[in-house]
Amino acid sequence: MPSESPSSSYSCSIETLRTQMPSISEIEEFDIGELSKNKRKPLNAFMIYRNEFRKRALANGMKKKMSELSKMAGESWRTEPTKVKAAYTRVSRQIDKIFQRRREEQKIFKIVYDPKMGVPQEQEHDVAPHQSIPADDYMYSLNVDAIPIPYFCSDDIIW
């Protein structure tokens, strides 16, 4: 039994769907806001193409599993002209810009108060850290006589 190519088993051929795929001007008029709703990551050019392929296949009454539709979309994508792929890439870049802008806006850190979380208590010190002592009090507190100061001569150290 000869093996069938994957495209021969489809009820609606890829060529039929391909003729119904949007033109370059229609691609550029896609609703970028709707396409950029994905929260996790922006859609690349092929994913936008595949979504459009799926919509058009379902509109034509094609009832296939998503895995089969994805294979068909991949075959169709490989045969698309460079100009069509470039149009999808431009739309994808616009979506990516919106996604990056949203990401930057969400980088603002929000302080969340959790009542279960205790406030750390600092240890109390007799003297606050980095507290300066007034110069007069410091000078009077020094006992200079108790500190041996060496006297240097040319040859010996005298204590």
Quick: pLDDT tens for 56-96: 888 888 888 888 888 988 988 998 889 989 998 988 898 88
The CA-based dihedral angle spanning residues 17, 19, 20, 26, taken in that order and rounded to the nearest 10 degrees: 130
Q: HSE on the CB side for 125, CA within 13 Å?
A: 6
pTM, entire model: 0.54
Mean pLDDT across the chain: 71
The C-alpha atoms of residue 60 and residue 54 are separated, in whole angstroms, by 10
Q: Which residue has the tokens 């051929």?
A: 13
CATH class of 9-105: mainly alpha
